[in-house]
Copies of this chain bind each other. A is one copy, B any other.
Amino acid sequence: MRGVKIDFDAAKPIYQQIMDGLCRAVARGELRPGDKVPSQRDMALTLRVNPNTVQRAYREMEREGLLETARGWGTFITRDRSLLEGIRRRLAEEAVTAFVDELEALGLEREEMMELLRSRLESERRIRDDHGAEGEETPGP
C-alpha cells in the first residue's frame, strides 16, 4: 500500500494510522470507488503489523461506510461517491479548524496565519523545484 506509513512510536494508535492512510489514498484518488483494498492478511504483512490491528481498522471504516465487505470476495471501497466526497471535505475542514484554533490560542492574528502559511508553501515549492531539477534535463529555450 503506497501512501500508508506506520509510525510505531507515534501517539496515534496504529489502527487509526491505517484508517488515515486509506482515507487519504481515497481522497487523493489513488484508490477509486469500487476498488479492492488489500486483504487483511496482505496488508498486515506489508505493514509489518498484527492482523488483528488491520482488522480493527477495516471494521471501523466499514462502520463509517467507507469500506464494504463481500464475504469470500474481499473488501472494497464504497461506490457511494457522495460519502467519499463528504469524508474528504470533513477531513479538510477539521484540518483548518485545528490550524486556526491552535494559532489563535498562540495569539496570532489572521494576517499572521495567512503569512505563515504562505511562507511555508513558498519554501516547500522551492525545495521541490530544486529536487525536481536534479534528475531532469534543464528545459532548453
Interface of A is mostly: helix
Q: Which residues of B contact A113 (CB under 8 A)?
A: 117, 121
Chain A interface residue number, banded: 35 or more
Count of identical protomers in the assembly: 4
Q: Confirm or deny: A100 has a beta carbon within 8 angstroms of a beta carbon on chain B.
A: yes
- A95's closest neighbor in chain B, by CB? B102
Say whether A100 contacts B124, CB under 8 Å.
yes
Q: Which of A21-29, A33-41, A74-82, A133-141 contacts B (4 or more CB under 8 A)?
A: A21-29
Say whether A91 contacts B99, CB under 8 Å.
no
- A122's closest neighbor in chain B, by CB? B110
Specify which of B28, B71, B124 is in contact with A107 (CB 8 Å cutoff). B28
